[in-house]
Amino acid sequence: MTLTETSRITELYLDGMTQREIASMLFTSHKTIWKALKRAGIKCRTAAPRNQTAEKNHQWKGSLAKYSACHSRQQRRYGKPQVCEICGATDDNRSYDWASLSTRYADPENYRRMCRSCHWKLDETYRNFHQDKQIRLDL
């Protein structure tokens, strides 16, 4: 590696680029950049985590995210619900969920805090309880 290449690498690194970004830009390996900086006497920065939330994450799907991912986003954004907005329950022994009011799962305004009972009533979960059995009510 020539002196001009080393000085270019040093300049880019001191301007804030990471070793991997420099390596990608110069079509070389990370290890080559690391060695050049070491020979130039540049103390390397410790790797810091980058902000990988929402649109900054390469796997972000936005409104195409699946049902469970949308619910997880809601919980990360606003925390775990501790109260029901429908019946007002605050009992620690109850389970609370983020309930989607419609099928617009990606919309954060579409969710309400609900106890499990109110959530199941909203979703009409009771319709699924005996779906494979015929229940005779005329006994």
Task: Give yes or no for a contact between 61 and 69, defined as CB atoms under 8 angstroms apart.
Answer: yes
Confidence category of residue 50, pLDDT binned at 50, 70, 90: confident
The answer to whether position 46 is within a domain reads: no
The answer to whether position 56 is within a domain reads: no
Residues 80 and 114 in one domain: yes
The answer to whether position 51 is within a domain reads: no
User: In whole angstroms, what is the distance from residue 96 CA to residue 81 CA?
Assistant: 6
Give, as one character, the DSSP assignment of residue 60. -
Instruction: Report angle CA 85, 72, 64 to the nearest 5 degrees.
Output: 110
The answer to whether position 26 is within a domain reads: yes
Strand residue runs (E) in the chain: 96-100, 111-115
Q: Which residue has the higher pLDDT, 50 or 12?
A: 12
Residues 15 and 69 in one domain: no
Residues 20 and 76 in one domain: no
The answer to whether position 35 is within a domain reads: yes
Check: pTM over 0.85? Answer yes or no: no
Percent of the chain's residues with pLDDT above 70: 93
- Count of domains for the chain: 2
The answer to whether position 72 is within a domain reads: yes
Q: What is the pLDDT of residue 92?
A: 93
The answer to whether position 57 is within a domain reads: no
Residues 33 and 70 in one domain: no
Any residues with CB less than 8 A from the CB of 118 and at least 6 apart, and which? 84, 86, 87, 89, 99
Residues 119 and 71 in one domain: yes
Residues 82 and 116 in one domain: yes
Residues 68 and 120 in one domain: yes
Domain of residue 79, residue span: 64-128
